Amino acid sequence: MIRANDPQRISWVNISSDSDFSIQNIPFGVFRKKNGDVRVGTRIGDDVVDLFELVSAGLLKGIDATFFMQDALNPLMKITGKSGMRELRNDISDLLEESNADLRDNAELKAKAMFRPEEVEMLLPIRIGDYTDFYSSEQHAYNVGCMFRDPNNALLPNWKHIPVGYHGRSSSIIVSGMDIHRPKGQTRPNDEEPPVFGPCKLLDFELEMGFITFDGKPLGQSISTTEADEYIFGMVLFNDWSARDIQKWEYVPLGPFLAKNFASSMAPWIITLDALEPFRVAGEPQNPEVLPYLKFEGDKNIDIALEVIIKPDGGQEKTLSNSNYRNMYWNMCQQLAHHTVNGCDINVGDMMASGTISGKKEGSFGSMLEISWKGTKPVQMPDGTERRFINDGDTVTMRGHASKNGIRVGFGEVSTKVLPAI
């Protein structure tokens, strides 16, 4: 057993039962202290822990302290790899376990190394080189296909044979808490008239999960579904914003461009794949049978409860969706195997997103496009207004957690406010 996953472990840190950051979690992130120093850290309950201080005090051994002074996790991940990050997480868990006095009874070190979340600024934890967005929720693909084609031809012929995806823009991936401006571009409101330029009118969120990779194999070699987990570091909450009206006009023939490259929002804490192992579940049966390179063994889906909330400026929040990552048709191992089957190389810090995650029932859809059914079923807000898509001043927040037998491993939240177009 991975020590940090021990369900019997209890921390000397006071942790509420509904906290995302139990001792069985031990996520990784990057933060800035009030004095401007940037540090690699972890989170336990309501405390952000400066790992540089723990290494400097000799409580974490085997990794040079300079790797914990970086503005991204990439250098640490690159030098340690999967096994090294696993052992680092185990060692951190040991320090936080209730019977370990090394940090617990060192008041001076705790004052230097432990902070309340409001005392630090969370940064984007990864320097993302390449970003791939998949389209792997069958219900989402079916819903969109019904809207724009018909229920009998909702899924395109390739959908159940390959994990469909496209390469997106990594430079505009931002950390939770950073505002975005409404994007602008060409739209064609009237099919009988020329396009017009202006702010997007159909701004949407997409409820997604992303996974972060270690370095892969050299160019020309493939990663199999059996090997894939060893190349995946962890997962994050991800809001892949979408300008639906811009996308409708531009996506033929090469797919989304301005509709998707203006912003994607990412939670600051990466939850390791190791921490999520206890929450593995079987996925839905895949029919027709997939090609040999996409076959896999074992439970590869993960039971992660997801929630989307919208809050108008100065208003009350409203829950728009309760979904679950277990709804994915294509799992991460299949996505990574397909991504590399042609010899494409992956690098440390690459981001791969799931695509919009929708359940089978209304109330579990992962985008406003589906929730409002292309604007025909407006959502009633507590203040009496309606939402067909996202308005200026709205803040969209996504949360997620896995729980089993009283153990909770959560992702925190990704939250973004929409400002008017510039």
C-beta of residue 329 within 8 angstroms of C-beta of residue 286: yes
Please say if 140 is a catalytic residue.
yes
Buried b / exposed e over 47-76, threshold 16 CB at 10 Å, is: bbbbbbbbbbbebbeebeeebbbbebbbbb
Going through 246-389 in order, the beta strands assigned E by DSSP cover 264-266, 271-272, 280-281, 301-302, 305-311, 318-324, 351-353, 379-380, 386-387
SS3 86: helix
Helix (H) or strand (E) holding 110, with range, is helix 107-113
Angle (CA) 20 123 41, round 5°? 55
* Residue 97 structure tokens: 């376990």
How far apart, in whole angstroms, are the C-alpha atoms of residue 309 and residue 410? 16
DSSP classification of residue 293: G
Stated length of the chain:
422
Among candidate residues 140, 338, 339, 401, the one labeled active-site is 140
C-beta of residue 163 within 8 angstroms of C-beta of residue 221: no
How far apart, in whole angstroms, are the C-alpha atoms of residue 411 and residue 399? 7
Close Cβ partners of 22 (under 8 Å, ≥ 6 residues apart): 11, 15, 45, 407, 408, 409
SS3 384: coil
Give the residue numbers marked as catalytic.
Answer: 140
